[in-house]
């Protein structure tokens, strides 16, 4: 099982965008980033793509932390609150797991604890014996 730090480093897109996985355990993980100018959209608020990426990163860290390799097959996000600064945190949590499929939810919150975005992800367990070498 990869540590939070190891998982973060492997995820190039998250790293490039200043995101890191801060904790990971069976069926749950937390990721975060500090909002900077580069995370904004044309309206001056945090880009939906940045919020989605953060939640997807937490989903991947949580669902891949065991022996399974999970690939996302569908994800949806509802955007509840525009935000412009501070640290945003996504906490992913497993809702169901069968032999082939997992369902996760993740909530992205601001520092005040308000829900900024709600993520729902479905993953396909591709290979239970996949070796992931460093």
Instruction: Return the number of the residue (23 or 72) whose C-beta is nearest a second copy.
Output: 72
CA distances from 72 to 18, 49, 64, 125 (A): 22, 16, 11, 9
Nearest-approach distance from CB 9 to a second copy, in angstroms: 9
Q: Which of 26, 46, 25 is nearest to 35 (CA)?
A: 46
Tokens of 127: 């290979």
- Which residues sit opposite 123 in a β-bridge? 72, 102
Report the number of secondary-structure helices (H) and strands (E) in the chain. Answer: 3, 6
Instruction: Return the number of the residue (48 or 86) whose C-beta is nearest a second copy.
Output: 48
Contact between 18 and 11 under an 8 Å Cβ cutoff? The reply is no
By CB under 8 A, name the binding residues for a second copy: 7, 10-14, 16-17, 37-43, 47-50, 52-54, 56-57, 60, 64, 69, 71-82, 95-96, 98, 100-101, 103, 105, 107, 115, 118, 120, 122, 124
Task: Give the burial string for 21-50 (b: 16+ CB within 10 Å, else e).
Answer: bbebeebbbbbbbebeeebeeeeebbeeeb
Nearest-approach distance from CB 113 to a second copy, in angstroms: 12
Nearest-approach distance from CB 81 to a second copy, in angstroms: 7
Nearest-approach distance from CB 29 to a second copy, in angstroms: 12
Nearest-approach distance from CB 19 to a second copy, in angstroms: 9
Instruction: Return the number of the residue (25 or 76) whose C-beta is nearest a second copy.
Output: 76
């Amino acid at each position: 099982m990869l540590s939070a730090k190891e998982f973060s480093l492997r995820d190039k897109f998250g790293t490039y965008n200043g995101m890191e996985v801060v904790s990971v355990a069976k069926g749950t993980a937390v990721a975060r980033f500090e909002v900077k100018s580069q995370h904004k959209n044309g309206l001056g608020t945090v880009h939906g793509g940045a919020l989605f990426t953060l939640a997807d990163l937490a989903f991947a860290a949580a669902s891949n932390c065991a022996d399974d390799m999970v690939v996302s097959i569908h994800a949806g996000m509802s955007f509840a609150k525009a935000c412009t600064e501070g640290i945003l945190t996504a906490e992913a949590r497993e809702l169901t797991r069968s032999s082939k499929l997992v369902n996760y939810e993740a909530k992205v919150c601001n520092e005040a604890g308000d829900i900024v975005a709600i993520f729902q992800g479905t993953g396909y367990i591709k290979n239970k014996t996949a070796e992931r070498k460093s």
